[in-house]
Chains A and B, each alone.
Chain A
Amino acid sequence: MKNRGIRMSSLLTLSNLAIVLLILSGAVFLFARTYQQQLIGTARTNSLRTVTQVSSTVNDYLAEINAVMRTLEEEMTDAEKRRTDFFDVFLRTRPDVVAVSTYDPAGNLSHCYSNLGPPTGTRSDGINLSLDLQRLFSEPDGYVSAPHVVTFFQDVYPWVITVVSRLDLEEESGERWIALDISCSDISSYISDSGVGRRGYCYLIDTYGNIVYHPQQQLIYSDLKTEDSVRIASLEDGSYVEGLVIYAVKTLSNGQWRLVGVSFLQEFLTESLRQLGTILLILAALVLLAALLISAVMSAVLSHPLRDLEHAMAQFEEDADRFNYDPPKIAVREIRHLSVSFRDLVLKVQQLMKTVREEEINLRKTELRALQAQINPHFLYNTLDSISWMCEQGKNAEAVEMVNALARLFRISISRGHELIPIRNELQHAESYLEIQAHRYKNQFTWSIDAEESCLDYLCHKITLQPIIENAIYHGLNGLVDDGEILVSIREDGEDILFTVTDNGSGMTEEQISAIMQKDRSDRAGIGIKNVNDRLAIYFGPAYGIQIDSEPDCGTSVLIRMPKVTEEADYEKK
């Protein structure tokens, strides 16, 4: 019974927990989704904003370079001497300019102005990367090159970007193009430290996807890093989420370069996810804590009192008489009401049981009293018939004795209305009865009485022995050929008194014994063995009563056990 089924408090706790967790995880899921969407949106906006900011500074720079280029173009109309003076100042104020060179229509170097010395390098192989004649065929007004090294110095090969422009001078000057080699380091100052997030960065590509500037250019050149720049060059301006990477692309004002911003969603996500995880964890802990608290409270106010009530009911079932119930002080109202009702019920049931028992006893007592008061008419008729017969025969002495015995019998039977009489009197009653019966049965049996003197003053119910003796005569001795014997003995046994009626008659079978012990004698008036036994049990409790030992053809022994009673009042009330 104990381990079967789920305890109510556990069920309540579990269902509470399940519901709360379900709602919580649902909420968290929805929250996370919305959060993620928003996060991606924010990241894209941020990325785009950064790229726009950086592109505007790079645009400014390009505008400045353009302005410089216009100035240089103008300067080229000046005479040789003035040019040298100009470049002295110019190169000093523009450390990012590596070299300014002019070329004739065939692409040969005309002049070169630089802080790095005379352009001697090209003499060994004629290679000059600062002017791309091929490209000038398709873009005759000039172009901005991809990064390359400057080849016309000795012992030094700086990486530059070259801006080439057409010069509109008179034919005879021989100069057609001007090339401005700009160090990449200046662009880096605009781009290097910009980016969204800790790992985000920006880089410059041209429209073909060649990397113009990248904060980790050397890593790319050393094949330690690759950039998907050719594919990105084909994308429109805007922001793109690809997996966990956000690309933001913006074309610069010169139309030849594009700025690409790369940022990593993961950075934002992991940070936010960790925050979310922490919140979740705290929530989950709180929920668990709450659930346990609820379960504790539930247990205290609901399931515990209920279990107590259940237990109490079981106890009540077991032993209703001595059951005592206190309703719990802490419990929900319903259970308190239930408990109080149960207590009232218990009290009522106990009251009822008591009443029923008392009524039963009273009924039995009344019944027994009525029976005691009765005289078996057959017995009286037969006895009077015997007396009459004695008188006719002139056996006056015997007749007197018989009448005396009968008178004694009745006197003791009545006993002035007392229920309990001294054993001495009961013994006299039994003797009178035996006397009368001995006469009637023409001394077919002998009888003897063996009573301990100390017992005689205790009390016993009147007409206790007579029904037993009657049974011995009718069932044991009647029809016996040999002489019958009836022995009545009374003795102490500790706190009890034992009456024994023994005969040597035909005895009884088990069936007969149980019939006698259970059946009311309906055929004849007066008290039977069952009545004697019932009376003892009612008055003194189940430990007392009659025990019959019988063996067919050997005889019967009837044992009556009752407590020592000294005052009638002691037991009258029970």
Chain B
Amino acid sequence: MRKNRLLLLFLLASFLLSACGQAQERSSPYRIYLISKSTSTEFWRSVFAGANAARAEYNVELTICGPETEEDYLGQNRYIEEAIENHADAIVFSAISYTENAPAIDAAAEAGIKIVVIDSDVNSSRVSARIGTDNIQAGRITAAAALDTDAAHLSVGIVNFALVSRNGEEREIGLREELEKDSRVERIYTVNSLTDHDAARMSAISLLEEHPEINILIGLNEPLGVGVAEASEELDLGGRVRVISFDSNIRCIDLLRRGAVSALIVQNPYAMGYLGVETAWKVLEGQSFSPDRLIDTATSIITRENMFTMEGQRTLFSFG
């Protein structure tokens, strides 16, 4: 009896000591994949900068990959497969297609990978957290920027994504909702374009030629925004057509300074990248998030008036 007690105590003590020793040991860093919609736009470069800041802060192993264009969802699915093969712990994902990326994401979740969605949603129930712009709200803000004019009669031309993308759909919903409330708005035309500034420019030009009454032109993401801004510049519509673009592409900033663009709707891609990786880390550490509640990164309107205030500089120009 006594002997047993002694033995038990000894075991307990050694167990506790070993537990202590184990706690001291740090496990190898988490392997996180960031799969973007594109690698070429400033928007995404800013996302990557944010993600890298979080990588340094949380000591994770970060792999950033993404297709060339914002239409290549198959390319994205290949990256997801690669992440599964390389035993990633988490994927920070932005979907090109709401529907077509879903099976690959489900498969990744099946393989035990945590999914954090940034910027653009995917139709999967296995997502741990969602981070990005509240796109309906972004649409409403866009409308507010568009309607900030004295003109009595308004015709609106919208250049939106060609592919089924949640972002584009929701932005247009919010945008139209607000536009339709304003009695000055007479017509709203939408044209879908590939998310490439050349394609968008052409679409915008043909839209403007077809409907010369258009006096508000809106591009609903960075390439589309650059495209409509270039179209406005090319047709020299600066004074007549109010151009609203998305995000802080340097072309758009220059055009904003010159007056070819009236306002920029600027998202916070750096925060998306940072929060995406940070949240993935938190999920891996056992924290739980509500995937139905979007973690909203702020959206702001930048005009010629506020672009060089401290706030404007911070929003438009990334630091170092």
Contact = CB atoms under 8 A, between A and B. Distances in A.
A401 B297 CA distance: 149
A556 B57 CA distance: 117
B164 interface: no
B250 A156 contact: yes
Interface stretch (B8-16, B96-104, B114-122, B149-157): B8-16
Interface in B1-36: 2, 5-6, 9-10, 12-13, 16-17, 20, 23-24
Given A149-B313, A277-B20, A281-B16, A124 B268 contact: no
Contacts of A277: 20
B53 A281 contact: no
Contacts of A159: 317, 319-320
B258 interface: yes
B270 interface: yes
Contacts of B20: 274, 277-278, 281
Contacts of B180: none
A401 B99 CA distance: 148
B40 interface: no
Interface in A293-310: 296, 299
Contact of B13 (A129, A184, A285): A285
A222 B9 contact: no
A218 B320 contact: yes
A282 interface: yes
A159 B250 CA distance: 14
Nearest to A277: B20
A151 B254 CA distance: 10
A155 B13 CA distance: 67
A292 interface: yes
A324 interface: no
Nearest to B16: A281
Contact of A184 (B53, B257, B259, B320): B320
A371 interface: no
Given A121-B257, A125-B257, A281-B17, A289 B10 contact: yes
A299 B3 CA distance: 13
A217 B314 CA distance: 10
Contacts of A147: 319
B93 interface: no
Contacts of B315: 221
Contacts of B6: 289, 292, 296
A224 B274 contact: yes
Contacts of A292: 2, 5-6, 9
B53 A219 contact: yes
Interface in B283-320: 298, 304, 308, 310, 313-320
A389 interface: no
Contacts of B320: 159, 184-185, 188, 217-218
B257 A223 contact: no
B137 to A, nearest CB: 16
Nearest to B248: A157
B253 interface: yes
B174 interface: no
A218 B268 CA distance: 11
Given A222-B268, A281-B17, A216 B250 contact: no
A6 B150 CA distance: 96
Nearest to A217: B319
Contacts of A184: 319-320
B53 A124 contact: no
B159 interface: no
Nearest to A278: B20
B80 interface: no
A127 interface: yes
B306 to A, nearest CB: 12
A207 to B, nearest CB: 17
Given A216-B53, A281-B17, A292-B5, A222 B271 contact: yes
A281 B53 CA distance: 39
A154 B257 CA distance: 10
Contacts of B258: 124-125
A218 B313 CA distance: 11
Contacts of B316: 157
Interface in A164-185: 184-185
B136 interface: no
B9 A218 contact: no
A151 B49 contact: no
Contacts of B298: 223
B204 interface: no
B253 A157 contact: yes
Given A157-B317, A219-B53, A285-B13, A224 B271 contact: yes
A544 B185 CA distance: 136
Given A124-B259, A184-B320, A224 B275 contact: yes
Given A157-B317, A292-B5, A125 B304 contact: yes
Contacts of B16: 281, 285
Q: Among B57, B271, B316, B320, find the residue whose CB has the most chain A CB atoms closer than 10 A.
A: B320
B17 A282 contact: yes
Contacts of A274: 20, 23-24
B219 interface: no
A162 B308 CA distance: 16
A233 B234 CA distance: 50
A336 interface: no
B304 to A, nearest CB: 7
Nearest to A295: B2
Given A121-B257, A184-B319, A218-B318, A127 B17 contact: no
Contact of A222 (B10, B24, B50, B310): B50
A327 to B, nearest CB: 24
B257 A289 contact: no
A289 B53 CA distance: 50
Interface string A212-246: 00001111011110000000000000000000000
Nearest to A271: B24
A466 to B, nearest CB: 69
Nearest to B308: A127
B312 to A, nearest CB: 9
B240 to A, nearest CB: 18
Interface of A: 121, 124-125, 127, 129, 147-149, 151, 154-157, 159, 184-185, 188, 216-219, 221-224, 274, 277-278, 281-282, 285, 288-289, 292, 296, 299
Q: Which 8 pairs, one residue from A and one from B, show the smallest C-beta to C-beta distance?
A: A285-B13, A221-B314, A218-B319, A222-B270, A124-B258, A222-B271, A157-B317, A217-B319
Interface of B: 2, 5-6, 9-10, 12-13, 16-17, 20, 23-24, 49-50, 53, 57, 250-251, 253-254, 257-259, 268, 270-271, 274-275, 298, 304, 308, 310, 313-320
13 contacts: A125-B304, A218-B50, A218-B53, A219-B53, A219-B274, A221-B314, A222-B268, A224-B270, A224-B275, A274-B20, A274-B23, A278-B20, A281-B17
Given A157-B316, A217-B319, A221-B319, 14 more contacts: A121-B254, A124-B257, A125-B257, A155-B251, A156-B250, A159-B317, A188-B320, A221-B314, A222-B271, A223-B268, A224-B274, A224-B275, A289-B6, A292-B6
